[in-house]
Structure 1
Amino acid sequence: MSDHAGTHVDVPKHFDPSPGALSIDKMPIEDFYTEAICLDLSYVELKATISVKEMEDALTASGQEIKQGDTVLIYMAFNKRIPFDDPRWQHDFPGLSLEAVHWLADKGSRIFGVEAISPAPEGEPNFQAHNACGKRGITHIEGLDHLEKVAFR
C-alpha cells in the first residue's frame, strides 16, 4: 500500500532527523482541534509553485485572518482537475513555495492542509517544503479530499 493511500499527517519525525522530533503519538491532540480557514488557490496551474503574494491575495480575498495556532487549508481544485486513477495524479499537483511555507509559520499556523499527496510540487520544491516544516516546527495534512465541499458551500 502506498504511504499516500489516504488523508494523513506528515509528522515532524517524517522530515526532521533529530532525536526529539515528534511522532504522531507524541503530538499534542490540541494541535488538531483548531480553528481553520481555507484559502482558494484553485486557479493555480498544475505543477505550479504558489508564491507568498498568491497566498496573501487569497487571504485578502477570503476576508479572514490567520490567527496563532490556526489550521490553514489550501484549496487547489487538484482532485477536481485530475482524477485519482489518472497517472498524473501522483506527479502534477501544484503546491507551496518554500517562502509560502515560511509565511504560514510566520503567520502563526501550526498545521496546513493540501489536497495533493505532498505540500509542494514534485522535486526540489517538495524537499524544501518538508525541510522548512521541520525547521519551523509546523506540519501538514496531505490527501484532503472534498475540500471544496467543506470550505466553499
Structure 2
Amino acid sequence: MSLLSELLTAINTKRVEIIDLTAPLTGKTPVLRLPEPFANTINFQLEEISRYDDRGPRWYWNNIHTGEHTGTHVDAPNHWVSGKDGLDVSQIPLGSLIAPAVVLDVTDRVAEDPDFLLGIDDVRRWENEHGPLPEGGWLLFRTGWDVHSGDEADFLNADEQGSHTPGISAECARWLAEETPLAGLGVETVGTDAGLAPELEPPFPCHELLLGAGKYGLTQLQNLAKLPPTGAVLLVSPLPVVGGSGSPARALALVEQG
C-alpha cells in the first residue's frame, strides 16, 4: 500500500481525524474595527446572482463581497510595512501551509485576565514539557477566545480604553520571529496581536516582527481544544490572490487517534 493510500485508509477508519479549525463565514462574522481616521474592511456579504429563477432557471450562485482579512484568514508578509517587500499570499510555499502544529494552552490565565500577554518564559516552560517548537511548523495559541466568536461585541471586547483580547508580548513576538524555527503563528482572536497591541513597543508586534521576518499569521481559529499539544498536522488553504496581503482560508488539522 502506498503512503497516500495508508493515509486515506487511516482517515476512513478514523485512525486519523480531520478537525475543522475554521470559523463559519457569514455576515455576522466579526471583523477588526480600526479607529478613525483609518479605513476598515467590509463585512462578509453574499450577493445573489440567480436562484432557480428567470435570472438562471437551473442554477444558484452568488457574488462574494469580503475583505482579505475576514474570518479565519492568513496574513502574508506583505500585509505589514515591515514585510512590504516580502511574499504575497499567492507566493506562500505549500510546505508552510501543510506543516506540523503545536498547541500552547493558556485558557485558565485568559479567563482571569482578557489582556493576558504570552511571554518567552511561558513558551520555554511549554518546551520543557513537550519538546522544541517544530521546524517550519506553526504555534497555535489557545486562549479559549473562540467561545466569543458568535457575537462581534464580545469577540472584540472593546471599551473606551480599547479592545481587551489576549495576545503575545512584544518581547515574545520578537523571540518567536527571530529565534525560533516556526513558519507561523495561529490564534483564536480577530488578529494575531493582542487588543492592547497599539500600546506595546513596537506597536502590533506580531504583525511588525513576525511578518517582517517572513513568517505568517493565521487568525480566528476554532476547535483548538480538540488538538493535542504536539503531533497534529495543520493544513491551511488561502486563495492564491496575486498581490494579495491575505485571504480567508479553510484551516484543518489531522490528528492521529489512539
TM-score, normalised with respect to structure 2? 0.53
Does 2:187 correspond to 1:114? yes
Q: Distance in 2 between matches of 1:83 and 1:112?
A: 19
Larger radius of gyration: 2
Q: What amino acid maps onto 1:96 in structure 2?
A: I
Equivalent residue number for residue 28 of structure 1: 93
Equivalent residue number for residue 151 of structure 2: 85
- Residue by residue over 1:78-125, the C-alpha shift from the partner in whole angstroms, topping out at 9 and shown as x without a partner, is 123x35315131133200112212222312101110000112212424
Kept in 1: contact 2:105–2:142 (CA 8 A): yes
After the TM superposition, which of the residue ranges 12-21 and 67-76 deviates more from structure 2? 12-21
Report the CA distance between 1:129 and its aligned residue.
Answer: 1.9
Q: Secondary structure at the match of 1:136?
A: coil
Q: What amino acid maps onto 1:84 in structure 2?
A: G
Change (3 A) 1:46 1:52: same
- Residue by residue over 1:18-39, the C-alpha shift from the partner in whole angstroms, topping out at 9 and shown as x without a partner, is 6532111111111111111111
- The unaligned stretches of length 5 or more in structure 1 are none
Does 2:101 correspond to 1:101? no
Higher share of residues assigned helix: 1
Q: What amino acid maps onto 2:151 in structure 1?
A: D
TM-score, normalised with respect to structure 1? 0.85
Higher share of residues assigned strand: 2
Kept in 1: contact 2:103–2:142 (CA 8 A): yes
| Identity rate, percent | 21
Equivalent residue number for residue 133 of structure 1: 210
Q: What amino acid maps onto 2:143 in structure 1?
A: M
Does 2:126 correspond to 1:58? yes
Q: What amino acid maps onto 2:142 in structure 1?
A: Y
